[in-house]
Chain A
């Protein structure tokens, strides 16, 4: 069984799957972390920027906060969309091949 597993994870299809998932996860995580910590750092070092008004009843801060909230949700949506479309079909292809080999 161990040999099987080694053979699978070294196959080009599996390696491609791992690489693609790693890239998508890393890119989306970096966007989220970047947006959140960017927001925190602006809060810490340049409050004046976020305090600017955008007409009556609106400020840059509220708009940016709202964008970060919606971005968090949108990113999870992007991931689900990608995984349902690309990832699952790649997984199924490899699974089918395994079944045929048995």
Chain B
């Protein structure tokens, strides 16, 4: 198998063709969506007209990034079992979203999760604090995605990094700017179907060589690379590290602005819960597929070839596609990976633009007095600005190690956004001061501690020893955010907010307001 030569890195006709079809179809959708993106409700949430099943697919689309498809398949192909531990961490946040926040979020908010936190608290301080948490989460996630996509496209298609970044930025801006949430949602749905379909076909092609039984595939991997590939390796060595990362992934998922925003695209709480069930099922299925794809690549491509192309193993799934289905199938899977990148950055940009226009411009700068037209215009300007910023950041961080930024985005989401959201829903005594303290503490601890952690202090800044021992700060920063939220609320009570708790609670549980 080692004499196998790949065509990865050369322009691939099939790939360009598939990609052209994808761009044409999604641009058509954007064109039609543009007619229905004139009001704020349409632009931010597709008018609440997305069904539970559709939103479930779109949520899965938002969550299954190219990094998780190629990265986890690569991790499994090189390390075996450890890749599965990683996938499980990313999945278990979804049931938590379902049990704790999906329905209250739908019943209490309109466009952003800050709507819920600010429901009965003072608008301005809460909106500002929540925006900082949201925008930092979006920014770090976006940088990681942009830099990853530039390198990926460069590696797969041989296209120059800068051209790739500008192209991704331009298409993504077109989707969001003209088509708003409706186009973004359909791009997510199409991408999710393509990704799940492509991965399923890849798995079937691999398993067809192993009597359609994954156990035979695992046995072949065992015979080739030893028992260790089916057993845990070095990924979880320090239990505190593992617990802290687990908290970041679990509660971070429940604090990602682009995920939370999707709950406003469905008509009611019933559809919201259905969409989490659908999303969790598809994401679980996807992680099982990537596990099998990883083992397929390990056996059919070989670890030497995979790590020879890319140290992190990111090309494993693509190499496997080429080995099992030839250049044409490689072209298809590569185009799917490209579409995946576009969809994820579009979702992030829309969430960021909504925060800028709805939370900051309308509710802080204009104190809630802005008309529809003005708000949509500001949201579009914010989209353009964020898109250009994303391209600029993608170019600025070229060649930098940005892998830690995903962990940081999850840590901020888990510490700044999630505790404030949960406390505002569940605790009558939560006050404006407490909420601001909670968000500020969560954000600061997450950012400062990750700088002093081994992830940045040692791996990036090349210092000999870390000041803070854990690789992910979530254990400390989430705890800190809850303690600060409680302490701030006890220190400075908010009687007006407490008085409105009964009404909020009625709406939270019954989904109706009392007017």
B309 to chain A, nearest CB (A): 26
- Cα–Cα distance between A65 and B85 once the two chains are bound (Å): 7
On whether the beta carbons of B509 and A14 are closer than 8 Å, the reply is: yes
| Nearest residue, chain A, Cβ from B508 | A18
| Nearest residue, chain A, Cβ from B236 | A43
Residue B227 at the chain A interface, CB threshold 8 Å: yes
Given the interface pairs A37-B243, A65-B84, A80-B274, the reply to whether A72 lies near B502 with Cβ below 8 Å is no
On whether the beta carbons of B502 and A2 are closer than 8 Å, the reply is: yes
Residue B328 at the chain A interface, CB threshold 8 Å: no
On whether the beta carbons of B514 and A40 are closer than 8 Å, the reply is: no
- Cα–Cα distance between A28 and B221 once the two chains are bound (Å): 36
> In B64-111, which residues have CB < 8 Å from any A CB?
81, 84-85, 87-89, 91-92, 94-96, 98-100, 103
Number of chain A residues whose Cβ lies closer than 8 Å to a Cβ of chain B: 54
On whether the beta carbons of B81 and A61 are closer than 8 Å, the reply is: yes
| Nearest residue, chain A, Cβ from B511 | A91
Q: Which residues of A contact B51 (CB under 8 A)?
A: none
- Cα–Cα distance between A8 and B270 once the two chains are bound (Å): 22
In the complex, identify which listed stretch (B186-194, B280-288, B356-364) lies at the interface while the others stay far away. B280-288
Q: Which residues of B contact A76 (CB under 8 A)?
A: 94-95, 98, 276-277, 280-281
On whether the beta carbons of A56 and B222 are closer than 8 Å, the reply is: yes
> In A18-76, which residues have CB < 8 Å from any B CB?
18, 21, 24-25, 28-29, 32-33, 36-37, 39-41, 43-45, 47, 50-51, 53, 56-59, 61-62, 65-66, 68-70, 72-73, 75-76
On whether the beta carbons of A68 and B239 are closer than 8 Å, the reply is: no
On whether the beta carbons of B218 and A58 are closer than 8 Å, the reply is: yes
Interface-central residue, A17, A79, A98, by most chain B CB under 10 Å: A79
B64 to chain A, nearest CB (A): 14
Residue A86 at the chain B interface, CB threshold 8 Å: no
Residue B232 at the chain A interface, CB threshold 8 Å: yes
Given the interface pairs A8-B506, A76-B94, the reply to whether A65 lies near B236 with Cβ below 8 Å is no
B374 to chain A, nearest CB (A): 30
On whether the beta carbons of B81 and A62 are closer than 8 Å, the reply is: yes
On whether the beta carbons of B98 and A79 are closer than 8 Å, the reply is: yes
On whether the beta carbons of A59 and B81 are closer than 8 Å, the reply is: yes
On whether the beta carbons of B514 and A4 are closer than 8 Å, the reply is: yes
Q: Which A residues are closer than 8 A to B by beta carbons?
A: 1-2, 4-6, 8-9, 14, 17-18, 21, 24-25, 28-29, 32-33, 36-37, 39-41, 43-45, 47, 50-51, 53, 56-59, 61-62, 65-66, 68-70, 72-73, 75-77, 79-80, 83-84, 88, 91, 94-95, 98
